[in-house]
Structure 1
Amino acid sequence: MDWDKLRIFHAVADAGSLTHAGDTLNLSQSAVSRQIRGLEESLNATLFHRHARGLILTEQGELLFDATRSMAQRLDAAEARIRDSKEEVFGELRVTTTTGFGSLWLAPRLNKLYEKFPDLRIDLMLEERVLDLPMREADVAIRLKEPSQADLIRKRLMGVNMRLYASKDYLDARGRPEKIEDLSHHRLICQNVNSTQVSAGSTYTQELLTYNIPSLLTVNNYFGVLQATLNGLGIGVLPDYILADFPDIERVLPPSESREIPVFLAYPEELRHSKRIAAFRDFVTEEIFEHRKNLHESGDT
C-alpha cells in the first residue's frame, strides 16, 4: 500500500475536507483528490461519501482511518523518543489533569519550569475525562486516583482531602460555624454530586447536604467553586491544596473533611527515558515538597 497515499488519506479523514487537508499538506485540492481516487482504486473500495457539507467516512474508510490513526500515534511516539535521545529538554510536552488541579495548583507554578527550560512547549489539557496515555492522547498525566491502564509508570505524589473554606470577610460578616449543624445558616458552594468528580468528593458533599442546607450554589468544577468562595457567596467545598495559595480564605469546621484522595503522576513505559518527562516529574515532585512544607508551617496538615 502506498505510504504517501495513506498519509494524504489520513489528513483528509481527519479534516473532513479535501480543501482543508490540502492546506495542511501544502497540496492543491485536485492533487489530494487524485491521490484519494488512486487509493480507492487500489483497494477497490469507496472510502468517503461525498456531500455538500464535506466528506464522511464509509465503513471501509473508518477501518482504514483506525489503522492510520494508530500509525500516526506510533510515529509520534517514535519521534518523541528520538527527540528525547538528545541532552536538551525542549519540544512539546502534553500534560493532562483535572480542571481543578490544573487551574488551581499546576498552572500557577509552571513559570518555574519555564524558567529552567525555556524551550519547552507545554500543552496543558484540563478535563475530567481520562485520556489514553499508551495511545499517546497525552504524554503525562496527573490523576486524582491510581491509574488502571497497563504499561504505565506511576508515582504517588500526595494525598488530598476535600474540606470546607470561606473568605475571611464572609465569616466576619456572617459568623463562623461552630458545629456542622450550623451550615443550615449558610450557603454551600460545591460541585453537583452527579457531576464528574472523584467519588470521595461526591460522598463528602452528599454527607454535608444532609444537614438541611437551604441555599446552594453548584458549579461544575473547583475553579468556579473557588471563585464563588473568594467573592463571599458562601462556604465552599474545596481541595486542601488551595489553602497555601489563597491567604484570604480560611478553613471552616475542622476536622470535617473527605477521606483522602491519592494524587498520581503517570506516563507510558515507552517514555521512561524521556528527558522532558523527567524534567516535568522532578519539577512536580519539588513543588509538592514545597507545598507540603508550606502547609506544615501554616499548621494546616
Structure 2
Amino acid sequence: MDWDKLRIFHAVADAGSLTHAGDTLHLSQSAVSRQIRALEDSLNTTLFHRHARGLILTEQGELLFDATSSMAKRLETAAARIRDSEEEVFGELRVTTTTGFGSLWLAPRLTRLYEKYPDLKIDLMLEERVLDLPMREADVAIRMKEPSQADLIRKRLMHIRMRLYASPSYLAKRSAPERIEDIASHRLICQNPQSAQVGAGANLVQFLMTHDIQSTLTVNNYFGVLQAVLHDLGVGVLPDYLTHDFPELVRILPDIESVEVPVFLAYPEELRQSKRVSAFRDFVQDEIVSYRKQMKDQEVS
C-alpha cells in the first residue's frame, strides 16, 4: 500500500476537508483529491461520504483511519526517541494525572524539574479520565490505582488516604465534631460520589452520608473541595497529601478515614529508553522521598 497516499488520507480524515488537508500538506485541493480517488480505487472501496459541509468517513474509512492513527502515534514515539539525546533532556513530555493531584501536589513542585532541565516542555493534562498510554494519548501517567493496560512499565510511588479537614477560622465559629454523629450539624464538602474518582473516596463519602447530613457542597475535583474548605464553607473530604503544603488544615474525627489508595506512575514499554521519561520519573521519585521525610519531621514536631 502506498505510504504517501495513506499519509494524505490520514490528513483528510483528520481535517474532514480536502482544502484544509491540502493546506496542512502544502498540496492543492485537486492533488489531494486525486490521491484519495487513487487510494479508493486501489482498495476497491469508498472511504468518504462527500457532503456540502465536508467529508465523513465510511465504515471502511473508519477502519483505515484507526490504522493510520495508530501508525501516526507510533511514528511520533519513534521520532521522540530519536530526538532524545544521549546526555540532554529536552522536548515535549505529555503527563496526565488527576486534577487534584496535578494541581495541588505535582504542579507546585515542577520548579525543581525545570531548574534542572530548562529545555523540557511539559504538557500537563489534568482530568479524571484514564488516558490510553499505549495509544500515545499521553507519555506518562500518575494515577490513584494500578493501571490495567498492557505493555506498561509501572511503579508504585506511595499511598494516600482520604480524611476530614476544616479551617481554623471555621472551627472558631463552629465547634469541631467530636463523634461521627456530630457531622450531621456541619456542611460536608466532597466530590460527588457519582463522579469519576477513586473508590476509596466515594466509599468514605457514602458512609458519611448515612449520618443524616443536611447540607452538602459537591465539587468534581479536590482542588475545588480544598478552596471551599479554606473559605470556611464546612468540613471537607480531602487527600492527606495536602497537609504538608497546607499545614493550616485541621484534621477532624481522626478515627475516620478511607482505606489506603495506591499512587502509581506508568509509561509505555516503548518509552523505556526515553531521556525525558527517565528524567521525569526520577524527579517524581525524588520528590516523593523528600515529601515522606517532611511528613515524618512534621509528625515528630
TM-score normalized by structure 1? 0.95
The offset of 1:228, in angstroms, is 1.1
Partner of 2:240: 240
Partner of 1:297: 297
Partner of 1:256: 256
| CA shift digits 1:25-76 (9 cap, x unpaired) | 2333333223222222222221111113221100111111111111112111
Partner of 1:3: 3
CA distance in 1, matches of 2:211, 2:133: 41
The offset of 1:109, in angstroms, is 1.3
Q: Any residues of structure 2 matched to 1:216-235 within 5 Å, and which? A: 216-235=216-235
1:201 aligns with 2:201: yes
Partner of 1:47: 47
SS in 2 for 1:276: helix
1:90 aligns with 2:113: no
Partner of 2:120: 120
CA distance in 2, matches of 1:169, 1:52: 62
**Matching residue's letter, 1:187:** R
Partner of 2:159: 159
SS in 2 for 1:265: strand
SS in 1 for 2:256: coil
**Matching residue's letter, 1:101:** F
Partner of 1:71: 71
CA distance in 1, matches of 2:179, 2:300: 19
| Higher deviation after alignment, 22-31 or 283-292 | 22-31
CA distance in 1, matches of 2:227, 2:183: 20
SS in 1 for 2:233: coil
Size of the aligned set, in residue pairs, is 301
**Matching residue's letter, 2:282:** D
| Higher deviation after alignment, 269-278 or 26-35 | 26-35
Partner of 1:276: 276
CA distance in 2, matches of 1:161, 1:246: 16
The offset of 1:117, in angstroms, is 0.6
| Higher deviation after alignment, 34-43 or 169-178 | 34-43
CA distance in 1, matches of 2:255, 2:20: 57
SS in 2 for 1:33: helix
Q: Any residues of structure 2 matched to 1:123-134 within 5 Å, and which? A: 123-134=123-134
**Matching residue's letter, 2:41:** E
**Matching residue's letter, 1:289:** V
Partner of 2:13: 13
Structure 2: 5+ residue runs without aligned partners?
none
The offset of 1:298, in angstroms, is 1.9
CA distance in 2, matches of 1:51, 1:3: 26
CA distance in 2, matches of 1:59, 1:178: 62
The offset of 1:248, in angstroms, is 3.2
Partner of 2:286: 286
| Higher deviation after alignment, 75-84 or 252-261 | 75-84
The offset of 1:85, in angstroms, is 5.0
SS in 2 for 1:106: helix
SS in 2 for 1:11: helix
The offset of 1:189, in angstroms, is 0.4
Would you identify which runs of 4 or more consecutive aligned residues in structure 1 move more than 4 Å? none
| CA shift digits 1:88-138 (9 cap, x unpaired) | 101111111111111111111112111111111111111112112122221
CA distance in 2, matches of 1:121, 1:230: 32
CA distance in 1, matches of 2:130, 2:138: 10
Structure 1: 5+ residue runs without aligned partners?
none
The offset of 1:232, in angstroms, is 1.1
1:143 aligns with 2:143: yes
1:187 aligns with 2:184: no
The offset of 1:17, in angstroms, is 1.8
| CA shift digits 1:190-212 (9 cap, x unpaired) | 11111111111111111111111
CA distance in 2, matches of 1:162, 1:6: 50
**Matching residue's letter, 1:31:** A
Partner of 2:32: 32
**Matching residue's letter, 1:159:** H
CA distance in 1, matches of 2:61, 2:277: 35
